[in-house]
Amino acid sequence: MPRLSSGGGSATSAGVRHFALSFCDQALSSAGNFALSVLVARRSSVTEFGAFALVYLTYQLVLGLSRATGSEPLLVRMGGVSDPRVRAGSARLAMGWCLSVGSVAGAAGVLLALALRMPGWTSLLWFSLLLPVLLAQDLERHVAIAERRPGLACVADGGWALALLGPVLLLPTWFPSAASVTALWGLGGAASSVGLALALGGVRREPRAATRWWRDSRQLIRGFGTEFLLVRSGFYAVTYGLIFLVGLEAVAGFRGASLLMNPVAVLFTVVAMTTIPQGMRDGTATELWRNGRATASLLALSSLIIGALLLVVPDDVGRAILGATWPSARDALPGLIVWTAGTGATFGPMICLRVLGAVRGGVVARAWQSIAVLVGGLCGGALGGGPGAAMGVAGGVWFGFVVWCREAHRTAQHAELLAERPLAAPSEVT
C-alpha cells in the first residue's frame, strides 16, 4: 500500500486542526451570546426581555452589516495575497471601516436611549457605548482565522464567555438586572478585543481608512451587503413590525423560542463548514442536485426531531432557562420549529447553486424568500401575535424553499446539457 508523504500528512493534519479550531471559535461565540440572553431572561419580566431582544436584534443587524461590508471583503482580499505588508494594510483599512460603522451606529443608539428612556434603555445605552469595540473584536476574529491562527480567536471568545459567566455565577447579587449583565458582557468583549489586537501585533486604524476601504473594496461591499440584506431583511422587518402589531411580549416569545432552537443553528454551521462543501463538489450536475435533495431532507428531519424534543420539555425546566418568558416562547415554538426545518431544507438547493456558480438564481431565490417571509410574518403577527408571526415566517421560508429548488433544478439541467453537448470539430469553427 502506498504511504502518504510526511508533507501531505502534515498539510492534512494542519487543515483538520484549522477547521476544528475555527468551529470551536464559532461554538464559543454562539455559547457566549446564548448565555447572555438566558441570563437576561432570568432577570427580566416578559416586557423587559422583549425590549432587550429588540436591542440585541439591532446589535445583530449592525454586526451583520459590519461583517458584510468589512470582514467578508477582507477575507476575500487577504485570501489572494501572500505579502504580509499588503495583508496588514488591508486589515488596517477594514478596521477603520468597522470602527466608523460602530461609531456612527453607537452614537445614534446613545441619542435614542437618552431621548426615549424606553424599557430596556440602559441595555441599549451599554450596547451603543461599546459597539465600536465589539465590531473591532469581530473583525479581529476574522483576521486571526484568515492568518491561519484560529486558536487566538478561540481563546479570545472562550475568555469572553468566562468573563461573563464567572462573575455572574460566583457573585449573582452583584448583577441583579439585565443592564448589569449587558454591561459585564460588553466589557468582556472589549477586553477580548484588546487581547486579540495585542496578539495579532496591533490591528491599527489608518487615517481616512473608511473612505479608502470603500474606494478599494466597493464591488465586494456591494455584493456582500446586498446578499446580507436579501437574506435577513425580511426577518428583521417582521421582528420590528411585531412591536407595532402586538407589543414587546411577542418579541420576547419570538426571541426565547429562537434561543431554544440554537442547537439546530450549530448543526447547520457544522454542515455548512464540512459535509456540504466537500461532499457536493465532485460529480455531475445531476448528482449534485440529488445530493442537495438528500441534504435538504436530512437537515429538515434533524430540525423536526430536535424541535419535537423541545415541545415536551417540562415547564419547570423551561422556566429555569427563560424565566417569565417561557410561556410566550413555548407558544411560539411550533412555528419556530417549522421555520427552522425550512431553513435547513434550503441549504441543499442553496449550495447546489453556489457550487454551479449560478449567482443570478441565488439572488432571485433570496429575493422571493425575503418577500414571502416579510408578508407571511407580518400577516401572521397581525392575526395571531408572536405564534402567528413565527408560523407566517415559516410559511415564507418554505415558499422560498420551493423557489430555491426550482432554480437549482433548472440550473442543474442546464449544466448537464452543456456537459453533454459535443464540441465542434476544428473544421466546423468559423
In a domain, 108, yes or no: yes
Asked if residue 258 and residue 197 are part of one domain, the reply reads no
Asked if residue 157 and residue 284 are part of one domain, the reply reads no
In a domain, 227, yes or no: no
- Domains identified in the chain, total number: 2
Q: Tens of pLDDT along the chain (430 residues)?
A: 444 444 555 556 666 676 677 778 777 888 888 889 898 998 888 888 988 988 899 999 999 999 999 988 888 887 767 777 878 888 888 999 999 999 999 999 999 989 877 777 888 899 999 999 999 999 998 888 777 788 888 888 888 988 888 888 887 788 888 888 999 999 999 999 988 888 887 666 665 788 899 988 888 898 888 888 888 888 888 888 888 888 888 889 888 998 888 877 766 766 655 544 454 455 566 777 777 788 788 888 888 998 899 999 999 999 988 999 999 999 999 999 999 999 888 888 887 887 777 777 888 888 899 999 999 999 998 888 888 989 999 999 999 999 999 988 888 887 766 665 544 444 443 3
Asked if residue 121 and residue 28 are part of one domain, the reply reads yes
- By the 8 A CB rule, do 182 and 113 touch? no
Joined grid coordinates for residue 19: 477547521
In a domain, 184, yes or no: yes
In a domain, 304, yes or no: yes
Phi, psi of 425 (to 5 degrees): -70, 155
Q: Which of 216, 238, 271 is the last residue of a domain?
A: 216
- pLDDT at residue 285 in the model: 67
- pLDDT at residue 105 in the model: 94
Asked if residue 187 and residue 262 are part of one domain, the reply reads no
- By the 8 A CB rule, do 242 and 381 touch? yes
- pLDDT at residue 398 in the model: 95
Asked if residue 201 and residue 314 are part of one domain, the reply reads no
Asked if residue 135 and residue 39 are part of one domain, the reply reads yes
- pLDDT at residue 277 in the model: 46
- pLDDT at residue 219 in the model: 87
Asked if residue 121 and residue 212 are part of one domain, the reply reads yes
In a domain, 242, yes or no: no
Asked if residue 255 and residue 390 are part of one domain, the reply reads yes
- pLDDT at residue 330 in the model: 92
In a domain, 302, yes or no: yes
In a domain, 240, yes or no: no
Asked if residue 197 and residue 273 are part of one domain, the reply reads no
In a domain, 149, yes or no: yes
Asked if residue 285 and residue 198 are part of one domain, the reply reads no
- pLDDT at residue 425 in the model: 41
Note down the domain range covering 316: 248-418
Asked if residue 315 and residue 170 are part of one domain, the reply reads no
- pLDDT at residue 423 in the model: 40
Asked if residue 114 and residue 253 are part of one domain, the reply reads no
Three-class HEC string of the chain: CCCCCHHHHHHHHHHHHHHHHHHHHHHHHHHHHHHHHHHHHHCCCHHHHHHHHHHHHHHHHHHHHHHHHHHHHHHHHHHCCCCHHHHHHHHHHHHHHHHHHHHHHHHHHHHHHHHHCCCCHHHHHHHHHHHHHHHHHHHHHHHHHHCCCHHHHHHHHHHHHHHHHHHHHHCHHHCCCHHHHHHHHHHHHHHHHHHHHHHCCCCCCCCCHHHHHHHHCHHHHHHHHHHHHHHHHHHHHHHHHHHHHCCHHHHHHHHHHHHHCHHHHHHHHHHHHCHHHHHCCCCCHHHHHHHHHHHHHHHHHHHHHHHHHHHCCCHHHHHHHHHHHHHHHHHHHHHHHHHHHHHHHHHHHHHHHHHCCCHHHHHHHHHHHHHHHHHHHHHHHHHHHHHHHHHHHHHHHHHHHHHHHHHHHHHHHHHHHHHHCCCCCHHHCC
Q: 409 CB contacts (<8 Å, ≥6 apart)?
A: 289, 349
Q: Rounded to whole angstroms, what are the CA distances from 124 to 121, 128, 253, 350?
A: 5, 6, 19, 35
Quickly tell me which residue has 443570478 as its cell: 360
